[in-house]
Structure 1
Amino acid sequence: MVSKQEIIKIDGILTHIYQLGDPLLSSKSIVIIPGNPGLGGFYIPFGHELYNLFNENISILIISQAGHSPPLKYCFTLNEQIEHKIKTIEKLLPINNNHRLILIGHSIGAFMVLNMLDKFENRLERAFFLFPTIERMKESDAGKRFVRFYPILIYILPFICFIINLLFPFNWLKRKLISYYFSNSPLDDRSILIDTVLYDLLNPLTIKNLLQMANEEMSLVKQRNDQIIKRFINKITFYYGTNDHWVPNHIAKQMKQIYPKGDIIQYESNNRHYTISSQNSSSSKQDNTSLNNPNDKNSTSLSASKIKWFEAVRTVKQLNQLLNKHARVPTERREIKSADYMNLHFMVKKFYDTSVKIIPEAKNIVPEYPKWFEPFVMQWLNENDDMSMEYLHNALEKDRQTGFQQTSEHCLFSSSVVDVFTQLNQCHGIIKSLDLHDPIVIASYMQRFSITISKVLLAYANAIRRTFEHVGGEDHVCSILMNNIQQLRLNLEQLYEIMGGAQLDDETKFRLTELQKQLSDVLDELSAMFVKSIEPTIRQSIEEVYKQLQQIKGNQIGLGNNSGQQKGAEAMIVTKSLLDYLDQRLTFFAEQCEKTVLKRLLKELWKAVISDLEKVIVLPPFADSKNLLTIPAAKIEDAYRLLSGELGRDNDRSLTQKQCQILDRGLEDLKEFFHASGQGLKKNYLEKTLELQSLKYALSLYTQTTDSLIKTFVKTEKEQDRPAFEESFGEVSIQVDLFTHPGTGEHKVTVKVVAANGLKWRTTGMFRPYVELAICGPHLHDKKRKHSTKTKSNTWIPKYNETFHFLLGNEEEPDCYELNIAVKDYSFMREDRIIGLNVIKLTQVCEQGSWSSWIPLGSRINFDDTGLTILRILSHRTNDELAKEFVALKSARRHKEDV
């Protein structure tokens, strides 16, 4: 064993280090960072035990705390100590990612290691925190006592050391006294421990430095660094004690609650915080001695089974060493194939079953050999990815060449699905035949295998999606492809149960569950693509519905006993062509599609039919609501042209109330058709679809009076003034007073236009701004609805001080009305230009009876989908002056400046 201790300089700092083994000949190094008092010599016995445990295939480096060993006058801070350890590791150990590091920190050394993890992230194999003081040291029992007595200890303890050195001036005498204390330690380690106490611990400088470090620990080690712990939790092992006054018991319990998956151990032994190295070392040696010396007085005579047990242990240890050596070779440089490693795995399994498992001492013991083969099984699984993908491509190519034919008369899917899962099931069968009992190893393999499953099935789904895009119109092939995705989902569910189902680890369950959702989304996507491909024929059928609907004359169905029958009969005539088309389609779906696929196609078909009914019949086809904002001038004919769909329709398609009733009755027939006496979609689903709700709402609006629609618009559009706040083109000072007659209940609105300010308008001619007021709401057809101020010439801050009155009647409350404000530029030769717009809700005035403010001017009025629907319906009422006026007001926008 290569062993040395020396004092070297690290950035000019004298540092005491201990090394076991040669790091240049090892693939891993263990680095031990001591706790306070920071003397590496105390950890030598612990290092020897670790070195022997790894059979000399590792190097060990113990780094003393700077300024503690050897003692120095300068006291280093915790941050300086951390930087010192990093530089020591970088100087003494190989700097490459292939050389792995195992970091061990004891007490405050654990705090230092925690803050070093980022630096060595790529090289870190594992970190062990022994009795870690990484949080709230000041709150511990020992911490409270230390803080209380520190002002005294900092002077007394160095003085006591001085007195001891004065009373015992000869080292041989002190050595003899110290050796008595370490009389129970192994002979090989005793001299190192004695020298550590003699030359370091009994030095007043060391005492001063360790006390000052402890004092800094009290102030600096407060909050646990959860950010780093979360990142490295899978690579950290925490060891807590039950008799540790620097780390209270509840800390370990709390850590287990915060990190339930973390490796957090709490020993029930009596080991104290500062005895981790010596007591663990000695106990390990005692355990090792009793194993290697079975004839000890505490052991009985050897039985035949024990002899066989020791022979088996010796054999598997040799195998472990061999496999560890192979595992250190990078995968791409291994000369032995992964299949050969798998064969060896099965041979070892057979040896274990026939020669080891039958020994009484082996009962109830989980075998360790599967862990040794883990790197090689992982290699095999990685290579299996490529094999599975190649198998997938071959299966798909064969399927394409045969035109995706059904595998049999009763199977509605093609052969590629079967081929893909044959490969995956074979792979799982091999893993299962390893007969693993270690849950950690099982979880590791299942996690890796689940990645393969996801990769293969998503690749298959993407290939089917791409194929689907090129076979549009081939209904039979499309059905087979959708059935393939559904069969993929069913086979995945079966494989999930075979792998363990609910007993699988959380990561594997999550990945396979997400995969199932992704495949479900693909099936939904294909269903939507298929229905979209037949949508032109759906629209043709709906055009026939409209033609039949136009044959319905009159405006109202009577209220007699036969009115319901009449409505039903007429609805059957209107929807016959559509129902015949749907019946033909659904008959084909039922014959060619799996039941789950059929249900999804029904859902997509229902949404398409209802949506097209709204677009083709109920509301005029309006390609883009944003076109409304591009009207160059706010003329009523321009607004009507866009809103009524004149761009895409050859005539007005307004519906009478009777036609709306017939169409509503036809919707009930459609629901019954898609419900299919319980064999189709649930009525509750049909009723709750957004498409049906939108259509019914549009129908309900369609049958309402102009007054009712305007009232709905005023009550529901709450953000009409939003454009004015996004970009203002000036402002107007408005004062509004509301008076309700106590006798008649009629409402009177008095509006005073005070002034305008900061109008943003450029023109080449004379600028003559004026303010136009318009009241909007129900029951105003026989009342004056507009007023305008006088014009002001060539001023961008005009003063008006003009008052106007609006009479509203007593039919509705004032909150059903709003005041539209427009500032315009008057011209005798051309139409007036709009500078800015806004709306005042009378709800604001109702609360106090009087209201005044500066109103910003926007480029347009804002409204949502409901408002757009109302405007589109009103735009069809070409003979209704109130409707035309309201559409013009709401569709108006700021003109382009005449520059």
Structure 2
Amino acid sequence: MPKMLYGLQLPWVTPSLRCFLPPIAGSILQFAYSSSASSYSYRRRYTLNLVIAVGMESKKELINKAKSHVSSRLCRVSGSMTEVMEIQAETPKIHVLFIPGNPGVVSFYNDFLESLHQFLDGNSSITAVGQISHTSKDWESGKLFSLQEQIDHKVEFVRQELENVKVPIILVGHSIGSYISLEILRKCPEKVVYCIGLYPFLTLNQQSTKQSLIGKLASSSLLSATASFLIASLGLLPMWAARRLVSNSLGASWSDTAVQATCTHLRQYHTMRNVLYMAMTEFRELAAEPDWEFMRENQSKLAFLFGIDDHWGPLQLFEEISKQAPGTSLSIEREGHTHGFCCTVAGSVWVAQHVATLIKNRFKQLQQM
């Protein structure tokens, strides 16, 4: 009998392939066949280098405020078509550049970006730049892009698009976007004053079964192509059916923008191939330990937010950073959100307020210097 995926008959899914379909890096897209192994859990108490008391506004109060909405555009960077989302302030005091994880679809972060702009009192311009070929259209004709190529692309974006920005630039990265942000800081130290990593993926977690499975899937061209084809086959569904399918499969907690981003971008063969190819190169690059010397040299410019049970940014990494670069601002989110915080309104709002508090505190420090 053919296997069933979301109620569809998919005869290509064999038992051996099934185990290679766990959540992709960043845990944005939940596959039907996921690994039964759970991430290593941590229950110890941790001492934070910096404790930030944030008085959360109610969701109702947030909604009642006037909110600026993101706008979307396309631009070419290093010859590659790039999806950009942004909110421009009239008289910005700072400019936030956001780097997504993998999948690097910026529209997943719509609620987060709008909430962040609001919590920064409208005084910040915000730009989010997507990963190359994690797009709704195959602008690059099937070409695959490595982690290093994505890093080079973001550095060039800063030099091309933010060259004339006169206010301080603050980097905010999610998951592998945290690693990319560190590389931007390394190559553009004169323009970047602060770097915030959210649920950071900075090095491989050897204890994670999920990462091991994803690594095997991503390293096999055959398995990657097969998995991408299976997911792209859902593109045959009309949009209304795809939205219902995603909503029913991933839970009612997912926001409308996250469901829409899944349907418009992740059902594309070229996007999934690039997601997996980038993941393969991530695993190769991040097999080494983080550059502790660089992080110590820049520890006053760094802040990281970790989750309680996140195999991409495990708490042993939190502990290691606190030892290797003790001047880094470290926090742990204990509100029950996940690595894929951007897929829910509640997660987006909470993380946005946390980031806004970090930025405001840093901006006060810069004014006093």
Above 0.5 in TM-score?
A: yes
> Distance in 2 between the 1:373 and 1:79 partners?
33
Decide which of 216, 225, 231 is 1:155's aligned counterpart: 225
1:53 correspondence with 2:123? no
Alignment-derived partner of residue 302 in structure 2: 236
Alignment-derived partner of residue 81 in structure 1: 150
**Match runs of 1:782-821 below 5 Å:** none
Alignment-derived partner of residue 6 in structure 1: 73
> SS in structure 2 opposite 1:116?
helix
Decide which of 65, 74, 90 is 2:131's aligned counterpart: 65
1:20 shift after superposition? 1.1
Q: What is the letter of the counterpart of residue 248 of structure 1?
A: P
Q: What is the letter of the counterpart of residue 204 of structure 1?
A: Y
Alignment-derived partner of residue 241 in structure 2: 173
Sort the Cα spacing of 1:177 and 1:11 in 2 relative to 1 into closer, same or farther, 3 A.
Answer: same
Alignment-derived partner of residue 49 in structure 2: none
> Distance in 1 between the 2:305 and 2:162 partners?
26
Decide which of 186, 194, 197 is 1:118's aligned counterpart: 186
1:210 correspondence with 2:275? yes
> SS in structure 2 opposite 1:79?
helix
> Distance in 2 between the 1:245 and 1:95 partners?
39
Sort the Cα spacing of 1:127 and 1:374 in 2 relative to 1 into closer, same or farther, 3 A.
Answer: closer
Sort the Cα spacing of 1:161 and 1:94 in 2 relative to 1 into closer, same or farther, 3 A.
Answer: same
Asked whether the equivalents of residues 138 and 218 of structure 1 are also in contact (C-alpha less than 8 Å), the reply is: no
Asked whether the equivalents of residues 30 and 104 of structure 1 are also in contact (C-alpha less than 8 Å), the reply is: yes
RMSD value, Cα: 2.9
Asked whether the equivalents of residues 138 and 147 of structure 1 are also in contact (C-alpha less than 8 Å), the reply is: no
Sort the Cα spacing of 1:43 and 1:33 in 2 relative to 1 into closer, same or farther, 3 A.
Answer: same
1:128 shift after superposition? 0.5
1:238 shift after superposition? 1.3
1:512-547 deviation per Cα after TM superposition (whole angstroms, max 9, x unaligned): xxxxxxxxxxxxxxxxxxxxxxxxxxxxxxxxxxxx
> Distance in 2 between the 1:240 and 1:113 partners?
16
Asked whether the equivalents of residues 17 and 61 of structure 1 are also in contact (C-alpha less than 8 Å), the reply is: yes
Alignment-derived partner of residue 106 in structure 2: 40
Asked whether the equivalents of residues 46 and 277 of structure 1 are also in contact (C-alpha less than 8 Å), the reply is: no
Alignment-derived partner of residue 162 in structure 2: 93
1:130 correspondence with 2:198? yes
1:171 shift after superposition? 2.3
- Greater length-normalized contact order (CA 8 Å, ≥ 6 residues apart): 2
1:254 shift after superposition? 1.9
> SS in structure 2 opposite 1:6?
strand
| Higher helix residue share | 1
Q: What is the letter of the counterpart of residue 65 of structure 1?
A: Q
> Distance in 2 between the 1:249 and 1:9 partners?
38
1:45 shift after superposition? 0.8
**Match runs of 1:267-346 below 5 Å:** 267-275=333-341, 278=344, 279-283=346-350
1:39 shift after superposition? 0.7
Decide which of 94, 103, 107 is 2:175's aligned counterpart: 107
1:77 shift after superposition? 1.5
> Distance in 2 between the 1:75 and 1:158 partners?
13
Alignment-derived partner of residue 226 in structure 1: 292
Sort the Cα spacing of 1:374 and 1:273 in 2 relative to 1 into closer, same or farther, 3 A.
Answer: closer
1:143 correspondence with 2:143? no
Gap runs ≥5 in structure 2: 1-67, 355-359
TM-score, L = length of structure 1: 0.30
Sort the Cα spacing of 1:54 and 1:87 in 2 relative to 1 into closer, same or farther, 3 A.
Answer: same
1:414-468 deviation per Cα after TM superposition (whole angstroms, max 9, x unaligned): xxxxxxxxxxxxxxxxxxxxxxxxxxxxxxxxxxxxxxxxxxxxxxxxxxxxxxx
> Distance in 1 between the 2:254 and 2:312 partners?
25
> SS in structure 2 opposite 1:265?
strand
1:276 shift after superposition? 5.1
1:264 shift after superposition? 1.7
TM-score, L = length of structure 2: 0.69
Sort the Cα spacing of 1:8 and 1:185 in 2 relative to 1 into closer, same or farther, 3 A.
Answer: same
Decide which of 85, 91, 95 is 1:18's aligned counterpart: 85
> Distance in 2 between the 1:208 and 1:52 partners?
35
> SS in structure 2 opposite 1:136?
coil
> Distance in 2 between the 1:60 and 1:286 partners?
15
1:25-66 deviation per Cα after TM superposition (whole angstroms, max 9, x unaligned): 423111111111111111111111110001111111111100
Asked whether the equivalents of residues 243 and 270 of structure 1 are also in contact (C-alpha less than 8 Å), the reply is: no
Sort the Cα spacing of 1:182 and 1:126 in 2 relative to 1 into closer, same or farther, 3 A.
Answer: farther
1:697-732 deviation per Cα after TM superposition (whole angstroms, max 9, x unaligned): xxxxxxxxxxxxxxxxxxxxxxxxxxxxxxxxxxxx
1:117-165 deviation per Cα after TM superposition (whole angstroms, max 9, x unaligned): 1333122231101111112355643322222344364133212123322
Worse-matched range after superposition: 135-144 or 117-126: 135-144
Sort the Cα spacing of 1:372 and 1:149 in 2 relative to 1 into closer, same or farther, 3 A.
Answer: closer
> Distance in 2 between the 1:284 and 1:82 partners?
24
Q: What is the letter of the counterpart of residue 3 of structure 1?
A: V
**Match runs of 1:606-685 below 5 Å:** none
Q: What is the letter of the counterpart of residue 338 of structure 2?
A: R
Q: What is the letter of the counterpart of residue 88 of structure 2?
A: G
> Distance in 1 between the 2:330 and 2:352 partners?
24
1:181-237 deviation per Cα after TM superposition (whole angstroms, max 9, x unaligned): 575466xxx2x4343212211111111111111111111112211122112100100
Asked whether the equivalents of residues 179 and 194 of structure 1 are also in contact (C-alpha less than 8 Å), the reply is: yes
Sort the Cα spacing of 1:185 and 1:78 in 2 relative to 1 into closer, same or farther, 3 A.
Answer: closer
Asked whether the equivalents of residues 99 and 123 of structure 1 are also in contact (C-alpha less than 8 Å), the reply is: no
Alignment-derived partner of residue 52 in structure 2: none
Aligned residues: 288
1:285 shift after superposition? 8.9
> SS in structure 2 opposite 1:117?
helix
Alignment-derived partner of residue 50 in structure 2: none
Sort the Cα spacing of 1:242 and 1:173 in 2 relative to 1 into closer, same or farther, 3 A.
Answer: same
> Distance in 1 between the 2:291 and 2:366 partners?
32
> Distance in 2 between the 1:260 and 1:174 partners?
47
- Between structure 1 and structure 2, the one with the greater Rg is 1
Sort the Cα spacing of 1:176 and 1:144 in 2 relative to 1 into closer, same or farther, 3 A.
Answer: closer
1:256 shift after superposition? 1.3
> SS in structure 1 opposite 2:228?
helix
Q: What is the letter of the counterpart of residue 263 of structure 2?
A: L
> SS in structure 1 opposite 2:290?
coil
Alignment-derived partner of residue 261 in structure 2: 196
> Distance in 1 between the 2:365 and 2:349 partners?
32
> Distance in 1 between the 2:267 and 2:231 partners?
6
Decide which of 249, 254, 262 is 2:328's aligned counterpart: 262
Q: What is the letter of the counterpart of residue 132 of structure 1?
A: P
> Distance in 2 between the 1:212 and 1:77 partners?
7
Decide which of 20, 23, 27 is 2:93's aligned counterpart: 27
Q: What is the letter of the counterpart of residue 213 of structure 2?
A: R
Asked whether the equivalents of residues 142 and 246 of structure 1 are also in contact (C-alpha less than 8 Å), the reply is: no
1:605-643 deviation per Cα after TM superposition (whole angstroms, max 9, x unaligned): xxxxxxxxxxxxxxxxxxxxxxxxxxxxxxxxxxxxxxx
Asked whether the equivalents of residues 107 and 130 of structure 1 are also in contact (C-alpha less than 8 Å), the reply is: yes
Gap runs ≥5 in structure 1: 288-323, 325-367, 379-899
